[in-house]
Chain A
Amino acid sequence: MALLRHTTGEIKERKALTVNPAKTCQPVGAMYAALGVKGCFPHSHGSQGCCAYHRSALTRHYKEPVVAGTSSFTEGSSVFGGQSNLITAIDNIFTLYDPEVIAIHTTCLSETIGDDLMQISQKAKDDGKVPAGKHIVYASTPSYVGTHVTGYANMVKGILKGFVTKTGTPNGKINIIPGFCEPSDMAEMRRLADMMGIDITMVPDTNGVLNGPMTGHYEMYPNAGATPAEIAGMGDAKATIGLGRWATADGVNFLDAEFKVPGHVMGLPIGLKATDRYVDLLRKLSGKTVPDSINFERGQVVDLLSDYSQYFYGKKVAMAGDPDQVLALVEFCITLGMIPAYTVTGTAGKYFDERMTELLKDVPYDCKFKCGGEADMYLLHQWIKNDPVDLLIGNTYLKYVARDEDIPLVRHGFPILDRVGHQYFPSVGYSGAMRLMEKFLEALLDRLDRDAPETRFELQL
């Protein structure tokens, strides 16, 4: 009997009920972004549950310590406002945990009662609750607007707003704002820039924070992440690249508008073509030559692709995830010759439909896609019930669909609760493209081996 036994192929229009969402709420994204700043303590302004849930979700995904504070609202604070709770919290946090920065985000509760973080932060400073040389940054992240991707974008902008200045002396650096992706992905984006000899500032940068080593000591603030001083210098940079439209456009545009740092928003560099665009943009902005070492890696991707395209060609894929992630994956799947038959993302945006239409225009299949509130995994499952696919790509929650429908699943996105690797091995860049190809190929070939009749059980590729 099926795990999702109540899901049938009969699709009834739903306007009010979300079932098995392909998204979650803003503050978890904000908390994640804040962890990419060195010495930063995330703080959730609302009830305890939000903070507990967000810490749990991030911990389960990264298998690493995630600490954060909460304003611990009770009924009184909900009625009379959360100012006194937040000021107490700021005082306690600086006294006990001694961070360089507190990054505060709101919840649907503090947003609904209208708490003003700018005003409360100012009051905390005026009351002497912020020690000299320490900082508070903040972002408004109501859960009833947008998704975890929006929350990430809002906190990124909050961090930039809190630190970036312009001295007028260009520092020659390039700013990189990575989208909502893994610490390993951020490391890979940096590695490519390093290979080209480009001096970058990456914000946020969770590499080393959420994939740290075992040392026998717990460090609340690992020696990683962007420092406030580095972030401050972003106003003097040559340009900004944002990788992931939903997650980074706000930050990129802010630096462009406030500090006249020219901004470039592109997709996450997942797959061959997207990585090409990333490397090419780095090349153009920096005036540096792409080194042979990068051409070598690129060549390996094409080599692998040419060797194994027969296993990808015409295979139908269904995927759920964040729009920045799935748009890039859809493009890569098409590059591999696969058919992205069904795609859902809980995060809305007109660009999603436009870009999907553009990507799918030469795909010989009536592909379905949907974004926003009604685009949940229940709908995706119903589509699959009516017409099965060969491969699923998405977070851990798709494992129920995978088992019920007997379709291989490649885990990708957030959250991945039941596997490891995402923290350590990138899926961006050329090495990431090779890793993804390997994972797709493993999934498809394992299935082939499992199902092959004895006479056709092959020893070789």
Chain B
Amino acid sequence: MSTKPTNVEEIKKELIAKMPTKVARKRAKSILPGTEVGEPIPEIQSNVRTIPGIITQRGCTYAGCKGVVLGPSRDIVNLTHGPIGCGFYSWLTRRNQTDAGPDGENFIPYAFSTDMTEHDIVFGGEKKLRAAIQEAYDNFHPKAISIFSTCPVGLIGDDIHAVARTMQEELGITIFANSCEGYKGVSQSAGHHIANNQIMKHVIGTKDVEVEGKFKVNMLGEYNIGGDAFEIERILEKCGFTLVATFSGNSTVEDFRIAHAADLNTVMCHRSLNYVAEMMETKYGIPWIKVNFIGAEASAKSLRRMAAYFEDQELIDRTEAVIAEELEKVKTVVDEIKPRTDGKTAMLFVGGSRAHHYQELFKELGMKILGAGYEFAHRDDYEGRHVLPTIKIDADSRNIEELEIHPDPERFKPRKTEAELAKLNEQGLDFKGYEGMIGGMGKDAMVIDDINHYETEKLLEIYKPDIFCAGIKEKYIVQKMGIPLKQLHNYDMGGPYAGFNGAINWYRDIDRMVNTKVWNLIKAPWQADGPELEATYVA
């Protein structure tokens, strides 16, 4: 392996050298070196506006709300109120899998839209929205309908919440609306927050039933892309946990309704779902811990913490047995593959948790992370939750409703006493804790928030990593440079990558990607460097 430049400051200078002064000044605050474990973590600029004209990885608020959070719910009719485009583009592109069973409802393969035309923009779209809800009800008889507003809807002022309210009264099913116009906030992240608020207000805790099972948990921020949730479900069941609800992979509205019956909330994607975890703790008294099921060791660690929380020796023993059994399978594959991946290098610029989680899997293959960053994270995702009180709320964040949550007069039930929580915390449960991405990445790693195309191209030229992780928009740009790209938003055609079987899938896919011969075929024999050789055949 050739020596790579490791001076982050010099590389940073190169990244911003050609940018207009104002742009360079702004971007400089979003580029940092990583830190060693235990070192103080510097402040990084994040969750700020994208610079107009800069080719960005980011999407919009609607994409976060409909596409990410509510899209994977299988029995809700997710109705996009707007011109046809937004509904069309959020149709099945995230590879959210679901198993509806023989009789279960499944609206995931459908795209519902009010398909607004000029007439609706000029005269208002409420009438059409009402009619569309009625038609959705008449044709599909869903248990719930969720409405998503797109950019022009916010401008013309359709009151989608009033329409939802009146139609709910008329039809007697749950109907709620999300004001998730694309221009709100600075990235998809605003849409996650909006969706969570509405699920919290309209769905969670709307049904009280006795849920069977001794160790009841919810999984928050897991979207079942490429079947991740299926693998996590398999493991939890094997250990003896009862999964009440997953937000929102392979989920149903009925699961959301009874989610307050769980005794522990586990958070996979901190960025998209920490809000629900926080609100449910305040309202129902359910503690939460951050977990990570990406990476075999990370999965084992998460399972151990979950088992420790319930303080039941039988559960702890069973969990240990499952971990031992699963890790043995994993080890066989790692032993086979690691010699081929050891020492290779990777970069990840994606999402709002995935750029962190997937580092575990690369490390298990002996690969080095040269750089990473999030597309739509906030400072706490980088620096850890302890910085939350110091984050300045700007105008763009202020546009997003902040719910005032109080303990539910009937349903609030602290799962553990303060003393019990403190004791468990000491044992390493780390309630409400997330240490963020930067700590432990090492000083020679680049941390870049909201990386743009220009910076990506420069980084690739400088570092030439063996693999780059981003999304579909970046994929072929990177591959044209002869570097394989693994999509981490929808995994290309791969997955699951969560849990133990997922880890094995990942090892095999990465082995294939960094060791495939295709990248050696780019030059034709006559294009090879060096002087032309002449030879004669001597018999």
Query: Which A residues form the contact surface with B (CB < 8 A)?
Result: 1, 3-6, 12, 14-21, 23-28, 43, 46-57, 59-60, 63-78, 85-86, 88-93, 95-97, 107-109, 111-113, 142-145, 147, 212, 214-219, 346, 373, 378, 397, 400, 417
Contact = CB atoms under 8 A, between A and B. Distances in A.
Contacts of A25: 83-86, 88
Contact of A48 (B50, B89, B113, B476): B50
A222 to B, nearest CB: 10
Given A25-B85, A65-B477, A75 B136 contact: no
Q: Which of A18, A21, A90: most chain B CB closer than 10 A? A: A18
A55 B473 contact: yes
Contact of A96 (B54, B88, B477): B54
Interface string B30-65: 000000000000000000011111111111111100
B111 to A, nearest CB: 5
Contact of A24 (B85, B181, B453, B473): B85
Given A20-B111, A48-B60, A143-B83, 14 more contacts: A18-B114, A21-B111, A23-B84, A24-B85, A48-B59, A53-B90, A59-B473, A75-B183, A92-B20, A112-B121, A142-B118, A144-B121, A378-B110, A397-B92
Given A53-B85, A218-B477, A86 B52 contact: yes
A95 B51 CA distance: 13
Contact of B106 (A5, A73, A214): A5
B183 A216 contact: no
Contacts of B453: 67
A47 B155 CA distance: 13
B55 A68 contact: yes
Contacts of A89: 52-53
A59 B475 contact: yes
B110 A20 contact: yes
B182 interface: yes
Interface stretch (B126-134, B208-216, B357-365): B126-134
Contacts of B324: none
A88 B49 CA distance: 13
A53 B59 contact: yes
Given A74-B49, A92-B54, A12 B138 contact: yes
Q: Which of A17, A95, A400: most chain B CB closer than 10 A? A: A17
Contact of B59 (A21, A52, A217): A52
Interface in B435-455: 453-454
A3 B480 CA distance: 36
A30 B93 CA distance: 21
A48 B473 CA distance: 13
18 contacts: A12-B139, A16-B134, A17-B112, A17-B132, A18-B112, A18-B114, A20-B110, A28-B85, A52-B63, A53-B63, A53-B90, A59-B475, A66-B473, A69-B55, A78-B183, A92-B54, A96-B20, A111-B152
B87 to A, nearest CB: 7
A15 B131 contact: yes
A54 B63 CA distance: 13
What is the interface residue range for chain B against chain A? 35 or more
B476 A63 contact: yes
Given A72-B52, A89-B53, A95-B19, A108 B135 contact: no
Given A17-B139, A19-B111, A109 B182 contact: yes
B272 interface: no
Contacts of A144: 83, 116-118, 120-121, 152
A409 to B, nearest CB: 15
Nearest to B23: A92
B188 to A, nearest CB: 8
Closest 10 CB pairs between A and B? A49-B60, A25-B85, A89-B53, A16-B131, A92-B53, A47-B182, A109-B151, A53-B89, A143-B83, A89-B52
B107 interface: yes
Q: Which of B103, B454, B472: most chain A CB closer than 10 A? A: B472
A108 B131 contact: no
A4 B63 CA distance: 23
Given A12-B139, A16-B129, A113-B155, A49 B51 contact: no
B152 A112 contact: yes
Given A4-B109, A52-B58, A65-B480, A96 B454 contact: yes
A309 B392 CA distance: 71
B89 A24 contact: yes
Nearest to A95: B20
Contact of A112 (B151, B184, B186): B151
A454 to B, nearest CB: 32
B102 interface: yes
A48 B19 contact: no
B105 interface: yes
B523 A216 contact: yes
Contacts of A67: 55, 453, 477
B476 A59 contact: yes
B52 A71 contact: yes
Contacts of A49: 59-63, 86, 182
A145 B119 CA distance: 9
B102 A1 contact: yes
A71 to B, nearest CB: 5
Contacts of A397: 91-92
Contact of B182 (A48, A212, A378): A48
Given A4-B110, A144-B120, A214 B89 contact: no
Nearest to A400: B109
A145 B118 contact: yes
A3 B140 CA distance: 14
